Structure 1
Amino acid sequence: MSVSRRSFLEKSALASSFFIVPRHVLGGKGFLAPSDKLIVAGIGVGGKGKSDLRKFYESGKAEIAFLCDVDDRQAKDSVAAYPKAKYYKDWRKLMEVESKNFDAVSVSTPDHNHAVQAMAAMQLGKHVYVQKPMTHDIYEARMLTAAADKYKVVTQMGNQGSSGDGVRQLVEWYDAGIIGDVHTVQIWTNRPIWPQGIPWSKAKPPVPSGLDWDLWLGTAPYKDYVDNLIPGSWRGWWDYGTGALGDLGCHLMEAPFRVLGLKYASDVQASVGSVFTAFGQRGVFPDSCPPSSHATLTFPKTKKTKGPVTMHWMDGGIKPERPKELGPDEMFGDGNSGILFIGTKGKMMASEYAANPRLLPLSRNEEVKVKQKLERVPGSAEGHYAQWVEGAIAGYGNKQMSSPFELAGPLTEAILMANLAIRVADMPFPRPTGKGMHYPGSNTKLLWDNENMRVTNFDAANQFVKRTYREGWSLGV
């Protein structure tokens, strides 16, 4: 006979005065007995959410007790994998009814709903694991970073490369002075691999059975359902996703942040690729991310650099010039993505997730030996999940995380700041003459007031720093 966890504990406690009830069941925020497994609730349990839950479970220290998804089609594999887990459609109902019955929440929904779900969990004292990017907006990232400290919960963003050996090797090389002082970083990716720079469909098909479309929209403005948005093409629409930067930026920009001690950028500028109609006119689709972009961020001097650092982000297949130290037939990055550090005494590069770090020219990798100084995460990048599980069991401040919101927040803000420049570069404005459109943002360097979270010289960009949620939705701060 199946009984709920709460019912079982209540009946067992009555049966024996010596039964030890775990502290999380008694409602204490952030408290776990050392022998307990982490009781996890998953919000968004298809796709990446499914694989995240599997990794938590494979740690041997997590129990997947609750599943929540607005789309039964996407959730079916997780429902089958955890038959004892209780299933909810609405995450708000899950938190209202079951808040005393789980310790931690995994959020793997589209970007536009990350913040409200993670914030609600933290306000209940729950540890949170949130898929990258941490949030959709800069304001949300700043609020979640503050909330993690306020509520004393263990946090982790889902950029597993931050737990990898590769980024630690890069740090050790840089700290040993092997490539001198880094002043420029170049990052590139073949993303997007979904449609971008396209018009919103005019078709109005019926909402598929099993999908709660209104709940899927969540904080976003209401629009009628369209096909081919779920499960992955939502990334290319600004209402829901954050484009190529949101998908891979956290995996590629994390290494420069850690290696160079970067935090908040001071300015950003961007150029974007265009789509042209059959008549040779530029297609204007401001709701859709552009097909390609190049953003340039400037970061102030840090404790690990001698001056400012310029970071170039390129997507849509755009790549930087191959370094002269790299042979004509040698792989640049991993072929699709890469990170190149340019220092005063040399260069080093890595692949996606900061994997396969290499000094340039490649012959240096046989010659240079640097003593390992940084502790490695057991399991490297794959150990990212177990690290969070064990950290949550240990409690706030008792175990080091690779991507806590303290670090993930500023990284996410930099990614979203680059998106500000990309969005305004592709934003059409009527010409003062009244004839046609122009794109003043494409020729503007956005100057950033970090304390006030505001662009100081191009006000049109500020509407994207903190968006307006649909009526009925709130971040709760």
Structure 2
Amino acid sequence: MKLKKSDASRREFIKSASLASAGFMIVPRHVLGGKGFTAPSDKIVVAGIGVGGKGKSDLRYFAQSGKADIGFLCDVDDRQAKDSVEAYPKAKYYKDWRVMLEKESKSFDAVSVSTPDHNHAIQAMAAMQLGKHVYVQKPMTHDIFEARALTQAAKKYKVVTQMGNQGSSGDGVRQLVEWFDAGIIGDVHTVQIWTNRPIWPQGIPWPSTKPAVPQGLDWDLWLGTAPYKDYVDNLIPGSWRGWWDYGTGALGDLGCHLMEAPFRVLNLKYASDVQASVSSVFTAFGKRGFFPDSCPPSSHATLTFPKTDRTQGPITMHWMDGGIKPERPEELGPDEMFGDGNSGILFIGTKGKMMASEYAANPRLLPLSRNEEVKVPRKLERVPGSADGHYAQWVEGCIAGYGKKQLSSPFEMAGPLTEAILMANLAIRVADIPVPRKTGNGMHYPGSNTKLLWDNQNMRVTNYDAANAFVKRTYREGWTLGN
């Protein structure tokens, strides 16, 4: 999103006098030297967009690498930004990310995006078009079209990218790969994934109250690409995940942490079809409610992936949220933990099963006694710091330059993973949309009885056109993806 001059004059950025010191300047690596130059400090300068909550912890991990200076901070909400502003007193603070990119692009090397899902793509794309390396919180984007666009842009602009699914740098997923490669569980044909998320309200009507916008929050900027609605309480900082205009539900929150392991183990790319069922919501009068703005309280989506170079046939992947779980495997004892109690991943192969927790942590063969018996040589290099090393890995990649270091979740890998998550959401959304019955009273839900067939090349559902409305969103006027 390129800032228009009219917008720049309208949107004054905030500079806190306590943050500024006379003559202070952090010089980025690309200014200190030309192509191939390594700065004496061997550091990069990072600009953060969205610096409260998860953004705050992301910046902390970058700084802890010892090779990143936090030079610029940007947040639409001064309340959320407060801790980061105090933590990095030399960093300049902006309210509008477009102003920051326009004014300061020569002074930083990389951008960290940790805003609500609906603004990820425009912010990451704008940074990449300036030649900046990008770290984007999961999910990479809000819709499938955006995911494909960012995947292509990372290659076009030759920038170092990483999605914030830190489990992809963990030891657990590498252990799962080694077990699979050793043939311990045979050919995998089915993967089951589950979570207790959402832990925020879903399946509810949009609030009817219209409270005043809190001081320090630029509500219009927070909305960004989303349709305009009046401010409501309790949306910020976390409940926005349950509203389709801003979040992507439980799938967007934990899908990237749980689906990544099957993608890596089996080399999955793009799904060929998806279907879903969702929980019913009943009003006080016992009738089924329909709340189109809100994600359903629970859902079950089933994706099919074509055969890969690591499988003998197609893969069926089940996603369950809202506390729904698959049947316990018979190899698991009645009192033994299934997943981590809240979430889990189960690989079902022709010779056995293996299981892991959230982030693919604590991988286990089933029955659990096999973990004492089976010994497989370590063949894959581990990321220093495991999952926590995900951040330093990106920093090191930025310092080395595009294509010089292997990363755990670059957009070329994170893009297809994100698309699969958003494809499951396509099926969930059409399964939750009623239409009037042609005869009689009430509503029916035709999408709930449909397997959506996916044309990957054209990014289109071929047999149920209503679903295509969610493949690419229509942005609010004044917002675009790139130039």
TM over 0.5, shorter chain: yes
SS of the equivalent of 1:25 reads: helix
Tell me, in whole angstroms, the C-alpha distance in 1 between the residues paired with 2:412 and 2:211.
Answer: 43
Asked if 2 retains the 8 angstrom alpha-carbon contact of 1:187 and 1:340, the reply is yes
Q: After the TM superposition, which residues 194-205 of structure 1 pair with which residues of structure 2 at under 5 Å, given as runs? A: 194-205=200-211
CA contact (8 A) 2:33 2:39 kept: no
TM-score between the two structures when normalised by the length of structure 1: 0.95
The question of whether the paired residues in 1 share the 8 Å contact of 2:154 and 2:161 is answered with: yes
Do the aligned partners of 2:29 and 2:43 also contact (CA within 8 Å) in 1? no
Cα offset, 1:438, TM superposition: 1.0
Q: Which residue of 2 aligns with 1:13?
A: none
The alpha carbon displacement at 1:2 in A equals: 2.2
**What amino acid maps onto 1:408 in structure 2?**
A
RMSD: 1.5
Matches within 5 A, 1:450-469: 450-469=456-475
How far apart, in 2, do the equivalents of 1:377 and 1:121 lie?
26
Q: Secondary structure at the match of 1:94?
A: helix
Q: CA separation in 1, counterparts of 2:123 and 2:401?
A: 21
CA contact (8 A) 1:112 1:136 kept: yes
Letter in 2 for 1:383: G
**Secondary structure, counterpart of 1:196 in structure 2:** coil
Deviations 1:67-96 (A, max 9, x none): 000000000000000000000000000000
Q: Which amino acid aligns with 1:414?
A: A
Match of 1:235 among 233, 237, 241: 241
Tell me, yes or no, if structure 1 residue 246 matches structure 2 residue 252: yes
Aligned: 1:474 with 2:480: yes
1:370-397 per-residue CA deviation (whole Å, 9 max, x = no partner) reads 1111000000000000000111011111
Q: Are 1:207 and 1:213, in contact at CA under 8 Å, matched by a contact in 2?
A: yes
Alignment of 1:179-194 (within 5 A): 179-194=185-200
User: 1:427, 1:336 → 2: CA distance?
Assistant: 28
Q: Are 2:173 and 1:167 aligned? A: yes
The alpha-carbon distance between structure 1 residues 23 and 337, as it changes in their structure 2 partners (threshold 3 A), is closer
Aligned to 2:453: 447
In the alignment, structure 1 residue 65 sits paired with structure 2 residue 76: no
Cα drift, residue 451 of structure 1:
0.2
**Post-superposition offset of 1:268:** 0.1
Unaligned runs of 5+ in 2: 1-19
Aligned-partner Cα distance in 2 for 1:315–1:79: 36
Q: Partners of 1:434 and 1:94 in 2: how far apart?
A: 57
The answer on 1:93 being equivalent to 2:112 is: no
Aligned pair partner of 2:85 in 79, 90, 99: 79
Decide which of 174, 178, 185 is 2:184's aligned counterpart. 178
- What is residue 114 of structure 1 aligned with on the other side? 120
1:12 aligned partner: none
The CA distance in 1 between the partners of 2:367 and 2:36, in whole Å, is 49
Cα distance between partner residues in 1 of 2:117 and 2:284: 33
**Other structure's SS at 1:24 match:** helix
Q: Which amino acid aligns with 2:363?
A: P
Q: Provide Cα deviations, 1:48-77, integer angstroms capped at 9, x if missing partner.
A: 000000000011111001000000000000
Q: CA deviation at 1:37?
A: 1.1
CA contact (8 A) 1:32 1:395 kept: no
Q: Using the alignment, how far apart are the partners of 1:158 and 1:470 within structure 2? A: 26
Q: Which amino acid aligns with 1:398?
A: K
Give % identity. Answer: 88
Question: After alignment, is 430-439 or 361-370 more displaced?
Answer: 430-439
Of the three residues 274, 280, 286, the one matched with 1:280 is: 286
**What's the secondary structure of 2:30's corresponding residue?**
coil
Structure 2 residue 298 is matched with structure 1 residue 292 = yes
Contact 2:29–2:45 (Cα < 8 Å) also in 1: no
Give the distance between the partners of 2:94 and 2:139, measured in 1 at CA: 24
**Could you tell me how far 1:275 is from its partner in structure 2?**
1.0
**Cα deviation per residue 1:424-469 (whole Å; 9 max; x = unaligned)?**
0001112223733210000000000000000000000001000000
Are positions 1:387 and 2:359 aligned together? no
Q: Which amino acid aligns with 1:388?
A: W
Give distance in 2, aligned partners of 1:207 and 1:28: 46
Normalized against structure 2, the TM-score is what?
Answer: 0.94
Aligned to 1:121, the other structure's residue is in SS state: helix
Partner of 2:326: 320
Alpha-carbon distance in 1 for matches of 2:450, 2:36:
46
Amino acid in the other structure paired with 1:180: G
CA distance in structure 1 between the aligned counterparts of 2:80 and 2:107, rounded to whole angstroms: 24
Contact 2:276 2:448 in 1 (8 A): yes
Q: Distance in 2 between matches of 1:428 and 1:279?
A: 18
